[in-house]
Amino acid sequence: MSHLRFGANPIRSTYLIDQANFIACHQWNFLEKLDVLARAKRGSTFLVNSPFDADNPAETWAQLPIEIQETIVRRELKVYAINAYKVARENGMGGRINTVMQTCFFALANVLPADQAIAEIKHAIEKSYGKKGAEIVAMNIKAVDATLENLYEVPIGSPDGAVRRQPGMPNHAPDFIRNVEGAMLVGQGDALPVSALPCDGTYPTGSAKWEKRNVAQFIPVWDEDVCIQCGKCVAVCPHATIRGKVYEPSELETAPATFKSTDSRDKKAFSGLKFTIQVAPEDCTGCGICVDVCPAKNKSQPSLKAINMQPQTPLREPEAENWEYFLKLPNPDRRTLDGTHIRTQQMQQPLFEFSGACAGCGETPYVKLLSQLFGDRAAIANATGCSSIYGGNLPTTPWSKDAEGRGPTWSNSLFEDNAEFGLGFRVSIDKQAMFAAELVQALREPIGADLADAILANAVQRDESDIYDQRQRVAQLKPMLETIDDPRAKQLATLADYLVKKSVWIVGGDGWAYDIGFGGLDHVIASGRNVNILVMDTEVYSNTGGQASKATPRGAVAKFAAGGKPSAKKDLGAIAMTYGNVYVASVSMGAKDEHTLKAFIEAEAYDGPSLIIAYSHCIAHGINMTTAMSHQKALVESGRWLLYRYNPDLIAQGENPLSLDSRAPKQGVKDSMYMENRFKMLTKTKPSDARKLLAEAQADVDARWKRYQAMVNLHQPETLPE
């Protein structure tokens, strides 16, 4: 919510507006939950971005919630509407509606003569976007001209009650989520008494699923006849809104009429079962990445795939019903599921879902993958940054739990100390597990030798079956401890869960790992302790506005590097490999999803420090977020990003620990760099500097490739000392 004031004289006071002459609502879905007209003055103007077109203005009125209609009538408001997304799309601007809505404001608010205001807007566009290229300027100016043609006045009718405002959270949500978090979501958090808030600062997990943001104009629709069931759309979905399941045909007996299914193509693992891809229509952000990565083409209509975007509004109600039914279908047994291939691994339940990250976010697919693989036993230390905003921004969190109530524990510390924070998790967990094992040994006789020995013999727990079996033993142990008359039994009861493997993950961005938190990260990997570090490398400080980091590549324009970053990117992976006992992987989901999966599995299995550096595209790069995963592939093919794994365990087996998993660059860096505005804008403002930095960036890539080839050769078994 923004408060903007105009006056003939300078306004120097800081008060907010409580009687507004003009109110604009840029997202239609806000009307469904928020009292957007609470500050509207009698006779004021209301502008709304409506998904309904100007050829039927009465439809916009009919679709307004009755509470909004009543306020409009009672306060005698003038109402105007525009389908801003349609105007933006038709003029090549995708979902960017700021220029369209700004033009509407100056056309209606009368703070300046309309002709003068629009001329000033066009001048501002040329000044603001000129460095991004003439094409961007032309699109914005074209959108300005098209705006007034599509702006229309909404006829005021009688409130009819056909649509009503929805509560902040559904009525069937848990009490705390409905009454406390729901109040916060609709802007009523200040009215809550202190006693309503958690006294220890902890909040329940799995609350983002109740929000139902409905922000997407278009959502993906599955074509079961074209689908090859590869799982790629599920893997790359940044918000876990696309899911896949296999199930018995009998489950379809009570399915909704529009629920889609087909026979499973995997006759080895899922013979005789049905398969469904389902989308959560109210949680999807409409980024379209799933369509871009889908490899299955409709042979009769080559422009279509197995996933295609369609308008959300008519699909919302039936697909929401299908989604609820889909969730009730049983999840596959993790012990029998092949987690080494994307097509089957992606049937694991994500325990990170419906985050508020940017549509098409490059970070969240990695976080979701982590939650699918290890979420039921993960303890996550999070560095302040984007991952703290989409991970734990009040009032809701996307971190969730499974049907048994197990899920990640997540906590955010400071920006600079996250590695040490996570190391503390590991030290504490190890100590408590050690003490629990000592107590089991001490109580071996009353517990029973067979059970005690089985618990102690399975401390490592290498796979899902081992973990499941240990949980069963601990479940058997707990009630037994209540019957043992020994104070040590009570101690063990509080520590028994530590006998089951815990996976510690230290998560953050490149600003933390390469820069401000690097000293701590270096200390932690040098400790030799069994921690897993996930660095989501956006090559810039994404959360704080796009400042350059040591991960920013040469030639990129960012804050504090307005003339293009003059130095090369820091090689964090090479630094970590010098220790010799650190698992290191550099991955890119869009370039090679199964390589990414393999790295996560190997890193977690490695008994020591592991570091995964994951390329994460970002809206700050100035790219088309819909095709961002394809862009990741272009980066790898140009050599700007390398795929590799360094696994110290292979040394003892007489194998090369370093595997260079991407091929030699087959194209120059120029094409992939200039797909991004952060590089391209320098060609407009400082073309000679851009040419110089491009040549140096190409030299960086060439030298790095040769260096890594030499490192691979250096680690060949025949070159290693006996």
Where do runs of H (alpha helix) occur along 358-463?
364-374, 386-392, 418-442, 444-447, 449-457
Taking the CB of residue 158, how many other CB atoms lie within 10 A of it?
Answer: 9
Report percent pLDDT > 90 for the chain: 86
Listed residue (226, 229, 276) closest to 249, CA to CA: 276
Task: Delineate the domains of the chain, giving CATH numbers in brackets.
Answer: 20-153 (3.40.920.10), 212-348 (3.30.70.20), 440-499 (no CATH), 539-719 (3.40.50.970)
pLDDT at 721: 54
pLDDT at 413: 87
Please name the amino acid found at residue 426: R
Identify the pLDDT of residue 624: 92
- pLDDT, tens only, 219-241: 999 999 999 999 999 999 999 99
Q: What pLDDT is stored for residue 722 in this prediction?
A: 53
Structure tokens at 249: 């045909």
pLDDT tens per residue, range 145-204: 999 999 999 999 999 878 999 888 989 999 999 999 999 998 899 999 999 999 998 888
**Mode of pairing for the β-strands spanning 378-382 and 274-279:** unpaired
For 621-670, what is each residue's pLDDT tens digit?
999 999 999 999 999 999 999 999 999 999 989 899 999 999 999 999 99
**More confident: 716 or 513:** 513
- In the chain, the percentage of residues whose pLDDT exceeds 70 is 99
Closest CA to 212 of 320, 291, 286, 318: 320
Confidence of residue 358 (pLDDT cuts 50, 70, 90): very high
The span from the CA of 341 to the CA of 97, in Å, is 40
User: How does pLDDT run across 691-702, given as a tens digit for each residue?
Assistant: 999 999 999 999
Return d(Cα 363, Cα 346) in angstroms, integer: 17
Is 464's pLDDT higher than 60?
yes
Do residues 345 and 337 touch, judged by C-beta distance below 8 A? Answer: yes
Starting at the edge strand that comes first in sequence, how are the strands of the sheet with 242-247 ordered? 242-247, 274-279, 262-263
Write out the two tokens for 161: 């009650």
Q: Mind listing the pLDDT tens digit for each residue in 82-135?
A: 999 999 999 988 888 999 999 999 999 988 888 899 999 999 988 888 877 788
This prediction has a pTM of 0.93
The model's pLDDT over 126-144, given as tens digits with 9 standing for 90+, comes to: 888 887 778 888 888 999 9
Long-range contacts, 329-335 (Cβ 8 Å, 24+): 329/245, 329/247, 329/251, 329/276, 330/247, 330/251, 331/245, 331/402, 331/403, 332/245, 332/246, 334/464, 334/468, 335/464, 335/465, 335/468
How far apart (Å, rounded) are the C-alpha atoms in residues 683 and 700?
A: 19
Q: Which of 8, 23, 147, 25 is nearest to 91 (CA)?
A: 147
Q: Report residue 47: phi and psi, to 5°.
A: -115, 135
- Other CB atoms within 10 Å distance of the CB of residue 474: 17
Residue 131 to residue 152: CA distance in whole angstroms? 33
Q: Read off the pLDDT of residues 31-55 as tens digits, 9 standing for 90 and up.
A: 998 999 999 999 999 999 999 878 8
Residue-wise pLDDT tens digits, 365-401 = 999 999 999 999 999 999 999 999 999 888 999 999 9
Radius of gyration of the chain, Cα coordinates, nearest whole angstrom:
28
- Is the pLDDT at 564 greater than 90? The verdict is yes
Q: Could you tell me if 632 and 589 are in contact, meaning their C-beta atoms sit under 8 angstroms apart?
A: yes
Nearest to residue 206, comparing CAs of 349, 316, 42, 37? 349
Mean pLDDT of the residues in the chain: 94
Six token digits for residue 79: 């109402």
CA distance 663 to 641: 11
pLDDT band at 311 (very low <50, low <70, confident <90, very high): very high
pLDDT band at 1 (very low <50, low <70, confident <90, very high): confident
